[in-house]
Structure 1
Amino acid sequence: MLRRDFLAGTAALISGLTFGKVNLTLPTQTQTAKGRVTNAKTGQPLPNVRVSNGITVTKTNRNGEYQLPVTDDTIIHVVKPRGFKTPVTANQIPQFFYIHKPNGSPATKYEGVKPTGPLPSSIDFALTPESEPDKFRIVMFGDPQPRNQTEIDYMSHDVIEQVIRDAADQDCKFGISLGDIMFDNLEFYEPLNQSIANIGLPWYNVLGNHDLNFDAPDDDLSTETWQRIYGPRYYSFDFGPVHFVILDDIKYNGREKGGYTGELGYQQLTWLRNDLKHVPADQLVVLCMHIPLGGISDQKEFLEVIKGHEHTFSLSAHTHLQRHDWFGPQNHHHLNHATVCGCWWGGAPDERGIPHATMSDGGPNGYSIIEFNRNDYKVTFRPASRPMDEQMAIYLPEVIESAKSAEAELVINVFAGSTKSTVEARINNAEWRAIPNVPGLDPYIQRIKELEASEKPPLGRKVAGPNPTPHIWKTTLPANLPVGTHRLEVRSTDMFGQTYRDYRTFRVS
């Protein structure tokens, strides 16, 4: 019996959920894992700490003890509670799990888990006390996705060096990468992790569709290399007053059929339901995935699972653009996050030899600093290798005829804007004028594609797109502008109350 069949059966027994035909017969190789969770400084037991086998979520008793059923393919993980930290590797990867695979992983191109041997008599977790305030910040990455060492070097110089300074200035507590850590070649996990480790923060990782063992026969065995390096495919932890959930929404179709679909699946949704049973309804829950929520087949089931929680926020990457959406009757906020690699490090190189990596919505590659304060959060996009307040691009003709100025189109791309943003403009310190949100294509990325199609295209890999984006604002200029040079000022305010300004000069003839 496969691991997922066993766990689905266990889930149905424990939670009473129904998922169609589920085999409830427990396999003969089922064992009971036992262990303790303790304070690493004092050795004292830690009661009421959650521990999971990937479907059941239990709590330690007053002696710090727990028990969970396991098969010969189970990862036990502790749910890091508030006020404690887990160990990390030299590459800053949190160690909150124990892998039980007595026979190890099947042979694949990229190494999986080595045989772990018999189930230990006690699987223990020692957690170190730390101070975790109500208000804190983290770093968020989408798709680092290097193909090779050259692209890891791009990332190191274009993004990591900036994040080292930024994360220190902002006192960030940890980071998360939203999948596609790699671009199929899994042998580069180690140098990539070494690069990110230079930031000096514990770093959590989400599984992406380019992080799989593509020679695996099915989805069940497609994450063996991932598990060896990062641990479970999905898990949760607390930091301060916030509950973080890392999800796997990649269903691999296997090496014969190939490809993948966006799906959480009944096993993971059951685990999520069990996990959230232990989270107060008024606590902020942040859920991280790779494929956007709008692209998974069990979106409705996911929204059903989280609907009992008043404050939820989810993030994804995958699409190599940035947009905010809202789902379901609870108006659940989902951010499809910008990517570190832009569109796979495409575009002409700059003076450093690094591609401009513009995303398909016309926005730059980059990352975010996210601030949490109890149940509130604020996302601040950071464009790579640009001033941090460079948050938009303004498009106007260089020269405009005075008699035709009312026909001149002004286009503004607010890189991290949403339908809840406001955008205003004024010319030469006149009155501010509201600009309507008109989703569409970014003119700059359209121009890049025209150049790429020309007889003498620019150097570098072609960029993706252009793709429509909701963060475009359009209007026309006032009629009969006087001849001369003018200053256009644009002011944008996002859904979090953050205001940015930018300027463009233009000539009227």
Structure 2
Amino acid sequence: MRPIAFAALLSALIAPAALAQPPIVPCLGGTVFEDSNGNGRRDPGERGVAGQRVSDGETIVRSDAEGRYALPPRDRASQFLIKPAGYRLAPRRDSGLPDYWLNISLSPAPPLKYGGMPKAEPTCRDYALVPEKRSDADDLRVLVFADPQTKSETDIDYYRREIVEPIGRQFSGVHPAELGLSLGDITHDDLSLYPKLNAVTASLGIPWLHAPGNHDLDFDAARDEDSLLSYRHVYGPDTYAWEESQANFVVFDDVVYQPGRKPDYIGGLRPDQFAFLESYLASADKRRLLVLATHIPLFDAAPGQESFRHADRERLFGLLRDFPHVLVLSAHSHNQRHVFHDASVGWKGARPLHEYNVGAACGAFWSGIKNVDGIPDSTMSDGTPNGYARLRVKADARYELSWYPAKTRIAPFAQTAAGNAKYGMDGYTPQAGQRDVIENRVMNRYMSLYAPRTLRRGSYPIRGVFANVFMGRDDSRVEYRLDDGDWKPMKRVDQPDPALLGENARDDEATSLRSYDRAAVAKPSAHLWNAPLPTDAAAGEHAIEVRVFDAWQGEQRLRTSYRLLEAAP
């Protein structure tokens, strides 16, 4: 038989079988390479990097000896590179965010108000890694924002002037950190604000990672699986890992959307997230600090209220129990507190698991009396001023945490370096004319003090000084002294901050609106201390000094005073 006729016959014989097979979907793949010149393209001579992990949020694959990887496409998945320690990514996306992900949408997504995830066919995706020049022995500095929660462009302007720009000014062009984290509620339901908000955050010039919050959901989605499509179109994966020489970060969505139910969301994790966590943690370096960054806290909001599904928390605790260095960063509460999980809630690790529930950048949702710059006071319901946190990680996995109140929350009790030192305000330069909203409260970075201005000499000593220690923990040592006398312990009390109670009373008494939104309703604070003020001393002014022994920042002090006046019946 002639060759052409044989080929035709063979083709005819195999064609029906071929047509009977399901269509072959090509693997999504690419190369992870070392970008020696940082231009984001693979140029001749730039080698592939072996052993790098790429994931779709459930499965993790590794690149081969040539840096090549293959990952079958999964509909509406966000593929991402787990950035390895010792490298940075190049280049950035147009939004200014790090470029480590690719969305895949094989079928039309449900129609959503904010656009959802547009259809995107699988394509090859290369990832460029630029060798990091920093020493592994250097500390890692991380900026941590919780709940920027902007409702409008006006709020974005508050965020820019109150939070972001002061950081840039303070560091005078030097990078303020190596990494940034935002812990959800990036906006307040209006997802169209993402581009303008991201432009402000990206101005800090460092890689910035995001976790979604309950106000980042597509509330018109019919199910949880589709509730972050608009968010993921902008930010990529909702659950992923990122590694630095000092710490591994796992950022994850823990908001389970429950449309049609009350409440319409609860804290928890999906099966695909557990699959990713199990795979990632199986080979994670236990010598590094493991940081979990999420939105809804792992602890219950109130006794008997399951705000994070206990079964999911128990399973997560099981994955973490053998890691000796773990820190959980959460948000959502618009308060600030430290929680140490122990056996009473199912934690079985060698020592309690530390969760830092970070105060909000927007504080009490950008509410309260405006200052001379037109920015609302926005003190949170536990008396903590709005602001942001910093995390510093050592090479041996030790870490330090600090809270930075928004700069305009610090009242100008002194305008000199010596005065700033006296009041514990080193490094602050208050603007001329700026005043604290509550006149008998003094504040520095670490605490605020509230005391009566005057007391009658000889009256029953029931009035005292309150110290709101912003980073206070149950075991914090807080002491006071009067007129430079002996130091005495203060007692932690479970009650609202009296300064904020005063603001609530002034809002109630006002015959017209004092602000666009009233101050937050004061609630019991987890970090408030009290001590009595004696009335049997000589008439006149008496100094009050409080010192706090911060677990990470050392001893910090702040002073105020009160006056004893003579009076007759």
The equivalences for 1:73-112 within 5 A come to 73-86=76-89, 87-112=91-116
Moved more, 319-328 or 417-426: 417-426
Percent of aligned pairs with the same residue?
30
Residue aligning to 2:62:
59
SS at match of 2:404: strand
Change (3 A) 1:197 1:104: farther
- Report how far residue 340 of structure 1 moved: 0.8
Picking from 327, 343, 349, the partner of 1:313 is 327
Change (3 A) 1:445 1:49: same
Change (3 A) 1:465 1:299: farther
Deviations 1:309-367 (CA, angstroms, capped at 9, x unpaired): 10000111111010000112431000110111111101011111111011110111000
Residue aligning to 1:261:
266
Amino acid at match of 2:156: I
Matched, 1:504 2:560: yes
Picking from 485, 490, 498, the partner of 2:541 is 485
- Report how far residue 304 of structure 1 moved: 1.2
8 A Cα contact 1:365 1:384, kept in partner: yes
* Larger gyration radius, structure 1 or structure 2: 2
Supply the distance in 2 between the matched residues of 1:395 and 1:257 (Cα, whole angstroms).
Answer: 39
Residue aligning to 1:349:
370
SS at match of 1:143: coil
Matched, 1:194 2:207: no
Residue aligning to 1:4:
none
Deviations 1:43-88 (CA, angstroms, capped at 9, x unpaired): 2111121211211223222221223333222221110001111232
Q: Give me the TM-score of the superposition, normalised by structure 2.
A: 0.81
Deviations 1:83-134 (CA, angstroms, capped at 9, x unpaired): 11123224321111121213353221112232222x33x3321211122443
Change (3 A) 1:151 1:171: closer
- Report how far residue 407 of structure 1 moved: 2.6
Supply the distance in 2 between the matched residues of 1:188 and 1:114 (Cα, whole angstroms).
Answer: 18
Deviations 1:395-415 (CA, angstroms, capped at 9, x unpaired): 211112232364322211111
SS at match of 2:521: coil
Picking from 529, 550, 556, the partner of 1:494 is 550
Residue aligning to 1:325:
339
8 A Cα contact 1:218 1:254, kept in partner: yes
Q: Give me the TM-score of the superposition, normalised by structure 1.
A: 0.90
Residue aligning to 1:22:
none
Supply the distance in 2 between the matched residues of 1:63 and 1:39 (Cα, whole angstroms).
Answer: 11
- Report how far residue 258 of structure 1 moved: 7.4
Supply the distance in 2 between the matched residues of 1:364 and 1:29 (Cα, whole angstroms).
Answer: 57
Deviations 1:219-278 (CA, angstroms, capped at 9, x unpaired): 111111111110001101111221011010011113687721111133212211211112
Name the count of aligned residue pairs: 481
Residue aligning to 1:127:
129
Moved more, 480-489 or 60-69: 60-69
Picking from 24, 30, 35, the partner of 1:35 is 30
- Report how far residue 28 of structure 1 moved: 8.8
Amino acid at match of 1:172: A
Residue aligning to 1:428:
483
Matched, 1:466 2:522: yes
Supply the distance in 2 between the matched residues of 1:74 and 1:366 (Cα, whole angstroms).
Answer: 34
Matched, 1:448 2:516: no
Deviations 1:371-396 (CA, angstroms, capped at 9, x unpaired): 11120111111000235643211121
- Report how far residue 143 of structure 1 moved: 0.5
Supply the distance in 2 between the matched residues of 1:370 and 1:29 (Cα, whole angstroms).
Answer: 48
Picking from 141, 146, 149, the partner of 1:142 is 146
Moved more, 398-407 or 241-250: 398-407
Supply the distance in 2 between the matched residues of 1:248 and 1:115 (Cα, whole angstroms).
Answer: 22
The equivalences for 1:268-279 within 5 A come to 268-279=273-284
Supply the distance in 2 between the matched residues of 1:263 and 1:348 (Cα, whole angstroms).
Answer: 36
- Report how far residue 217 of structure 1 moved: 0.9
Aligned Cα root-mean-square deviation (Å):
2.1
Supply the distance in 1 between the matched residues of 2:274 and 2:328 (Cα, whole angstroms).
Answer: 15
- Report how far residue 434 of structure 1 moved: 1.6
Q: Please, which runs of 5 or more residues in structure 1 have no aligned partner? A: 1-26
Supply the distance in 2 between the matched residues of 1:29 and 1:441 (Cα, whole angstroms).
Answer: 64
Structure 1 runs, 4 residues or longer, greater than 4 Å off: 27-31, 167-170, 255-258
- Report how far residue 170 of structure 1 moved: 6.9
SS at match of 1:76: strand
SS at match of 1:313: strand
Q: Please, which runs of 5 or more residues in structure 2 have no aligned partner? A: 1-21, 37-44, 300-306, 342-346, 411-424, 429-443
Deviations 1:28-47 (CA, angstroms, capped at 9, x unpaired): 98764333211122521111
Amino acid at match of 1:439: D
Change (3 A) 1:29 1:181: farther
Supply the distance in 1 between the matched residues of 2:519 and 2:26 (Cα, whole angstroms).
Answer: 51
The equivalences for 1:368-387 within 5 A come to 368-374=389-395, 375-385=397-407, 386=410
SS at match of 2:491: coil
The equivalences for 1:288-299 within 5 A come to 288-294=293-299, 295-297=307-309, 298-299=312-313
Change (3 A) 1:200 1:104: farther
Amino acid at match of 2:358: H
Amino acid at match of 1:123: R
